[in-house]
Amino acid sequence: MTRPRRYERLNDAAERLCINPKTLRRRISDGTIVGYRIGRLIMVDPEEVDQKLVRVIPSGYMGR
């Protein structure tokens, strides 16, 4: 049996990722992630956001 999806508000997801909410809105507009309108709120699937927007930086990365 599949587990129910969890959603978070767009602003909460943006805050969690330390990005501007407009960035998430652009990603919804260009189809990178899916946004779900529930009333006046836009909700996103946190697993999808993490999978598609969070870059993994190798442990030996020095930033140069």
Determine whether 9 is exposed, middle or buried from the number of CB atoms within 10 Å of its CB (0-12, 13-18, 19+). Answer: middle
At residue 62, the pLDDT reads 64
In a domain, 62, yes or no: no
CB 34, CB 28: distance < 8 Å: yes
Q: Write the pLDDT tens digit of every residue in 15-64.
A: 999 999 999 999 999 999 999 999 999 999 999 999 998 876 666 666 66
59 inside domain: no
Instruction: Supply the pLDDT for residue 58.
Output: 66
Q: Is residue 60 part of a domain?
A: no
- Domain assignment present for residue 23? The answer is yes
pTM of the model: 0.77
> Is residue 34 a part of any domain in this protein?
yes
CB 45 within 8 A of CB 10: no
Instruction: Compute the CA torsion angle 42, 46, 51, 54 (nearest 10 deg).
Output: 90
The DSSP symbol for 32 reads S
The total of structural domains in the chain comes to: 1
Q: Tell whether 17 is covered by a domain.
A: yes
Range of the domain at 35: 8-53
Is residue 13 in a domain?
yes
Those residues whose C-beta lies under 8 Å from the C-beta of residue 56, and which sit 6 or more positions away, are none
**Is 61 within the bounds of a domain?**
no
